[in-house]
Amino acid sequence: MNEQIENLLYEAYETELGGIQVYTNAVECAKNDDLKEEWEKYLEQTRRHEEILRNVFETLGMDLEKDTPGRRIVRHHGEGLVKAIEMARNEGDEDAAQIVAAECIVLAETKDHQNWELIGEVAKKLGGEEKKVLIEAHEEVEDEEDEHLYHTQGWTRELWLDLLGQPAVLPPPEEKKDVKTAIGAARAKQSRKTMVRGGRGGRTRRPPAEA
């Protein structure tokens, strides 16, 4: 396995470590009960993803403590996201803090999702034990990573709309339809218009009428 693939795995592991901290702090900002339950589930799954990568490192004989330039950058980004959540929580606006936490999760999961997508691609070109262990890890994690990203994107959009006084669908259609693909996410987003018109959102709030 070449150095660049190893660097990707180190970045992926550091991303999972940062994700644990992001979710741990985000849960404290979750006002919506459904959202809090979802983030608590994602936190446990992220802990499992970190464990899966630790097992990958052990199987492939990689040094778990090796600090690479890419890993340091990922760690810096993760620490910044945690700091942003803490700042938002300290401002005292619970609705705004919940949205900031959601946005930070989307940022963290965008990197995490890409990591696993790339791991899945490079695994196809490898052979022997390397191919086997990476494909098994990817298959175990892939659907959960898709859900983390697409569902939280939906939550972030609908929480913003709700805060802005616009009709919102909570939980979002991505959650209701259990989206796990980009195509599914696009279709779910499109379907929200029907949900709003039909009053089938979990919660809607409209702007007050002008005097």
Percentage of residues in the chain having pLDDT higher than 90: 83
List, for residues 8-18, the tens digit of each pLDDT value: 999 999 999 99
| Tokens coding 90 | 């300290």
Percentage of residues in the chain having pLDDT higher than 70: 93
Global model pTM greater than 0.95: no
| 3-166 CATH pick, 1.20.1260.10, 3.40.50.300, 3.90.1150.10, 1.10.287.110 | 1.20.1260.10
The residue ranges of every structural domain in the chain are: 3-166
Confidence of residue 197 (pLDDT cuts 50, 70, 90): low
Confidence of residue 207 (pLDDT cuts 50, 70, 90): very low
List, for residues 166-194, the tens digit of each pLDDT value: 999 999 999 888 888 989 988 988 888 78
**Token pair 């890890």 is at which residue?**
137
- Rounded mean pLDDT, 108-119: 98
DSSP per-residue codes, the chain: --HHHHHHHHHHHHHHHHHHHHHHHHHTT--SHHHHHHHHHHHHHHHHHHHHHHHHHHHHT--TT---HHHHHHHHHHHHHHHHHHHHHHHT-HHHHHHHHHHHHHHHHHHHHHHHHHHHHHHHH--HHHHHHHHHHHHHHHHHHHHHHHHHHHHHHHHHHHHTTS---SS-HHHHTT--SHHHHHHHHHHHHHHHHTT-SS----PPPP-
